Amino acid sequence: MNIALDVHAMNAVRQCPSGGAMSSTVQDEEVANDRIMLGLFESVERYGGQSQLHIASELGIALGLVNAYLKRC
């Protein structure tokens, strides 16, 4: 599973459900964060004993990010 994430989103402004404005960058970062967390959970569930390096390679993210996300969990 290789999830391509675009972390360089445009700074357009969208309307939030609450009526306020939320930049697309913030929304895109939240979506990217959610995708990484889901990918991390799926990877750990599938191959519980694999290395962080393998997870990073599988998700297409930096090794340090895998470490940070695992600590958050």
Whether 12 maps to a domain, the answer reads: no
In a domain, 60, yes or no: yes
> Looking at per-residue confidence, does 67 or 22 come out higher?
67
Concatenate the DSSP letters of all residues of 11-31 into one string: --EEE-TTSSEEEHHHHHHHH
Q: How many CA atoms lie within 13 A of 9 on its CB side?
A: 17
Q: Span 47-69, mean pLDDT?
A: 90
pLDDT over 50 (residue 21): yes
Could you tell me the residue range of the domain that residue 72 belongs to? 35-73
Q: How many domains does the chain have?
A: 1
26 in any annotated domain: no
Whole-model pTM: value is 0.57
